[in-house]
């Protein structure tokens, strides 16, 4: 059974000579630390850097090189990109290009969208980044458009409308360019959309294909939805997939079914909460794997899909890995989708285990009760054992590094009649109080962990009073960089978790750090400015006096410091 593919244009003549060099640059991104061209610092999204100039022996001498104000108090979640000494950053209302060495603004391109667009945005007015290819930066806009900007000038080259926010759609995802196609996904399951992925011509923005994550009536998988529930059944695609050029396959996670309350959508609800492996030129799905069938807990399956080569049962396997919100770490064979391992990495009470033979979860009484419309206390929280913030993987240590949460949820569904007859564009929660937290871990509300991806066991775990919602970056210098909601940007020893350095950026961090090299010197860049359901609704006392922020910070070693740079402004 496979999701629907709507072929708009299946063949197009690209100027291959012009694109060949930039296509090769994208493929080699993880091996060229002077540029950061892709989401995840490489198609495999390992967020690993081979740089060693900044290392565990000298990181204590890391100092700010410059900062730049984004002039916005919304969350700064986008991963910076870097090409030829220029940093590119996005947020919900603008794209900026900065001189990477000084932080000086080169150009700024503002974005306007209808104010009522935010009505169908559940969890933060944000953007998660762009994609660089053939002299253009591709990005999405909150009102469900994809645009291309000239990277030299910031001028708009083309704009394509993907969907209508009135139908519950929005876009925050960083596009992926694979095989010369710009691929983007949508958000909006909480407002009853029907999720999809689409491929666009990088030169014109013309739609090449669209693949829906929920099958239409009569198509394979439609039998897993009752009636017309699938027409507004969710399945968002709001986190960027990874790409294997050798297999020519893109791996992309799909989100939760809608509404959260499952009483009126009995069945597996394919292809929500799934990993899809598809061909980038056509959108044709080659295999799928579903993590949480008939999900009642909003365990969005969109999290990043990290590629690696792991030895499992004595055999070296090319795998794709996901630390899912549902609290299980999944390892699958890239070529076939075969499930190789699935282990708990946080407290989980909705499932006993994942059956490797069937790939399905073995439900506990907690889930069985929830599927019948009853109130339960469930771990992890809908925020997830790990939220969307990306993990990293070191091919040196063979470990993954990630921030996890340590709290549960008081799940209270509405009566079935109150969630019946919902229409696209209407709220699709079906829950009395969506963000009710149960804090029961005496060590704190979150951990930074180093995990064995095959066993799911922690080599080390560092507790924090407040959870971290920042991505991680691991380097060959033996360091893991990440940020905290309380504003600290920090580096820990990749072998032990010991904090070796931290800097107070004066605003919470939910961004994605990168590191890069210029003229033989290594730099680290992070954005600050935090938002999201936990920040807004948890009542965390540690966040009471943390400013909203919204800045870009770049750091380098003190011995390479040439004097203070005046902080530039986004105005």
Active site residues: 298
Q: Tell me the C-alpha distance between 507 and 227, whole Å.
A: 47
Residue 516, C-beta contacts closer than 8 angstroms, at least 6 positions apart: 33, 34, 35, 36, 51, 82, 100, 522, 523, 525
**What's 534's DSSP letter?**
H
Number of other residues whose CB lies within 10 A of the CB of residue 420:
11
Is 125 strand, coil or helix?
coil
The greatest distance separating any two alpha carbons of the chain, rounded to the nearest whole angstrom, comes to 67
Q: Tell me the C-alpha distance between 38 and 178, whole Å.
A: 10
- CA distances in angstroms from 402 to 320, 356, 542, listed in the order given: 16, 24, 21
SS (H, E, C) 5-49: EEECCCCCCCCHHHHHHHHHHHHCHHHCCCCECCCCCCCCCCCEE
Is 484 strand, coil or helix?
coil
Q: Tell me the C-alpha distance between 338 and 110, whole Å.
A: 44
Q: Tell me the C-alpha distance between 310 and 307, whole Å.
A: 10
Residue 545, C-beta contacts closer than 8 angstroms, at least 6 positions apart: none
Residue 147, C-beta contacts closer than 8 angstroms, at least 6 positions apart: 111, 138, 139, 140, 141, 156, 157, 158, 159, 160, 205
Q: Are 47 and 472 in contact (CB under 8 A)?
A: yes
Q: Both tokens of residue 71?
A: 């002039």
């Amino acid at each position: 059974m496979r999701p629907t593919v709507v072929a708009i244009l299946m063949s197009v003549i690209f100027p291959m000579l012009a694109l060949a060099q930039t296509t090769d640059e994208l493929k080699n991104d993880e091996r060229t630390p002077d540029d950061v061209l892709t989401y995840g610092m490489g198609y495999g999204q390992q967020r690993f850097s081979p740089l060693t100039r900044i290392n565990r022996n000298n990181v204590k001498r890391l100092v700010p090189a410059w900062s730049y104000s984004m002039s916005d108090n919304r969350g700064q979640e986008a991963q910076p990109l870097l090409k030829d000494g220029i940093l590119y950053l996005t947020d919900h209302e603008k794209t900026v290009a900065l001189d990477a060495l000084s932080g000086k603004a080169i150009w700024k391109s503002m974005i306007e969208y209808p104010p009522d667009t935010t009505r169908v945005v559940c969890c933060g007015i944000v953007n998660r980044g762009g994609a660089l290819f053939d002299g253009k930066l591709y990005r999405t806009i909150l009102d469900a458009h994809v645009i291309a900007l000239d990277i030299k000038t910031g001028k708009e080259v083309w704009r394509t409308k993907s969907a209508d926010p009135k139908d519950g759609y929005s876009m925050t995802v960083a596009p992926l360019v694979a095989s010369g196609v710009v691929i983007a996904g949508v958000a909006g399951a909480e407002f009853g959309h029907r999720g999809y992925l689409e491929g666009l011509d990088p030169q014109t923005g013309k739609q090449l294909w669209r693949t829906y994550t929920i099958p239409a009536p009569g198509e394979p998988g439609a039998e897993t939805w009752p009636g017309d529930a699938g027409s507004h059944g969710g399945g968002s695609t709001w986190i960027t997939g990874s790409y294997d050029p050798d297999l020519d396959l893109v791996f992309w996670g799909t989100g939760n079914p809608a509404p959260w309350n499952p009483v009126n959508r009995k069945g597996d609800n394919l292809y929500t909460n799934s990993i899809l492996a598809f061909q980038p030129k056509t959108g044709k799905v080659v295999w799928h794997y579903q993590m949480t069938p008939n999900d009642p807990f909003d365990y969005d399956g969109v999290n990043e899909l990290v590629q690696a080569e792991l030895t499992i049962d004595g055999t070296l396997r090319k795998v794709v890995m996901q630390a899912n919100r549902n609290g299980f770490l999944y390892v699958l064979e890239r070529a076939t989708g075969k499930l190789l391992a699935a282990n708990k990495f946080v407290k989980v009470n909705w499932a006993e285990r994942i059956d490797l033979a069937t790939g399905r979860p073995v439900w506990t009484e907690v889930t069985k009760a929830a599927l019948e419309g009853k109130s339960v206390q469930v771990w992890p929280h809908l925020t997830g054992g790990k939220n969307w913030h990306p993990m990293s993987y070191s091919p040196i240590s063979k470990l993954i590094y990630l921030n996890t949460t340590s709290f549960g949820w008081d799940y209270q569904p509405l009566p079935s009649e109150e969630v019946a007859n919902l229409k696209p564009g209407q709220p699709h929660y079906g829950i009395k109080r969506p963000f009710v937290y149960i804090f029961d871990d005496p060590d704190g509300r979150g951990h930074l962990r180093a995990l064995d991806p095959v066993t799911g066991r922690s080599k080390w775990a560092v507790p924090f009073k407040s959870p971290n919602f920042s991505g991680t970056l691991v380097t060959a210098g033996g360091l893991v960089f990440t940020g905290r909601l309380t504003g600290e940007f920090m580096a820990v020893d990749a072998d032990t978790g010991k904090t070796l350095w931290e800097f107070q950026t004066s605003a919470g961090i939910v961004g994605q750090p990168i590191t890069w090299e210029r003229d033989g010197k290594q730099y680290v860049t992070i954005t600050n400015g935090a938002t999201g359901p936990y920040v807004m609704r948890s009542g965390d006392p540690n966040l009471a006096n943390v400013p909203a922020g919204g800045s870009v910070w770049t750091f380098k070693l003190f011995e390479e410091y040439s004097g203070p740079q005046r902080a530039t402004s986004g105005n």
